Amino acid sequence: MRVELDTRENYNPGWKYNYWEQKGVPLRIELGPKDLEKEQVVFARRDDASPSGKMTVKWSEVAARAPEMLETIQAALLEKARKERDAHIRYVNTWEEFMNTLDGNMVLAPWCERIECEEEVKKRTSPDATEKKVVAGEAPALSGSAKTLCLPFNQEELPEDCKCFCCGQKATAFALWGRSYWSVCWHHNRFPKSWSFLYTPICTSTRTQRRIQSEPLRCELVCSSRFVSVPVCSP
């Protein structure tokens, strides 16, 4: 656990609170003159802006309560992300259903696991594609081509005659699909306070964020809103 003390005297407390919230610090410990008199501090959770997100803690309990609070915050964020993920997953079997459901959701569909098929999906769902939603009068808000996000660990049993939603060949697994949103800004000063998660896969070894090109991964993904993501903390 890392702790940083903000002793700057040229900024008021409100400015400091906002500064550290924008940096993504999950737990802020406030200490003022009245707190000194009462030998206590105030814990403020970044993920909970309600009055219940603040609590007073005795000095003697800070060392024990701070790690516990961080674990509580992590569990709450993960549970929220899983609920968001589950709320945005849609099950489809055909290309028509796929196109009508894709925007704003992640789509679980039977797939043949062929690279050529995924390339075809990317081509047909690209911003330059002429193919539109089947629903009359509606045009999709294209932000990027659809691609496989993962092959979930917990695979439902495929019917014997199940076919790939795109090419019509025999399906071998259910795949999770979604549009590519690569415009997310990593810099903490531009990272909205309401976002607790960042898009993955990314490369953090350099300042320039680069996509990691790879075959579909078999992994559990956690999503916040429309972003496939993993929990992160501020540097």
Q: What is the pLDDT of residue 231?
A: 38
Mean pLDDT of the chain: 77
- DSSP 8-state code for residue 160: T
Average pLDDT on 61-76 reads 95
pTM of the model: 0.62
Place of tokens 């674990």: 71
Taking 60 as the threshold, does the pLDDT of residue 117 lie above it? yes
**What does the pLDDT average to over 89-94?**
95
Q: Which of 130-139, 177-186, 218-227 has the highest average model confidence (pLDDT)?
A: 177-186
Strand partners, 55: 43
pLDDT of residue 209: 32
List of residues 6+ apart from 6 with CB closer than 8 A: 16, 20
Specify the range with the lowest mean pLDDT, choosing from 3-12, 67-76, 85-94, 198-207: 198-207
Angle at 225 between CA 202 and CA 67, to 5 degrees: 70
Strand partners, 175: 109
Structure-token pair, residue 220: 């559990």
**Cβ atoms of 112 and 95 closer than 8 Å:** no
* C-beta contacts of 21-25 below 8 A and 24+ residues apart: 21/46, 21/193, 22/188, 22/189, 22/191, 22/193, 23/188, 23/189, 23/234, 24/188, 24/191, 24/232, 24/233, 24/234, 25/234
Identify the residue with better confidence: 49 or 181. 49
Q: Which helix (H) or strand (E) holds 231?
A: strand 227-231
In the chain, which residues fall in CATH 3.30.110.30?
Answer: 88-180
Tens digit of each residue's pLDDT (9 = 90 or more) over 171-222: 999 999 998 764 433 333 443 444 433 333 333 333 323 333 333 333 333 3
pLDDT at 215: 34
CATH class of 13-84: alpha beta
Domain with CATH 3.40.50.800 in the chain: 13-84
Nearest alpha-carbon partner for 63 in 41, 88, 36: 41
Looking at CATH, the fold of the domain delimited by 88-180 is given as Translation Initiation Factor IF3 (3.30.110)
Q: Please say if the pLDDT value at position 75 is more than 50.
A: yes
Residue 214: partners with Cβ closer than 8 Å, 6 or more residues away: 201
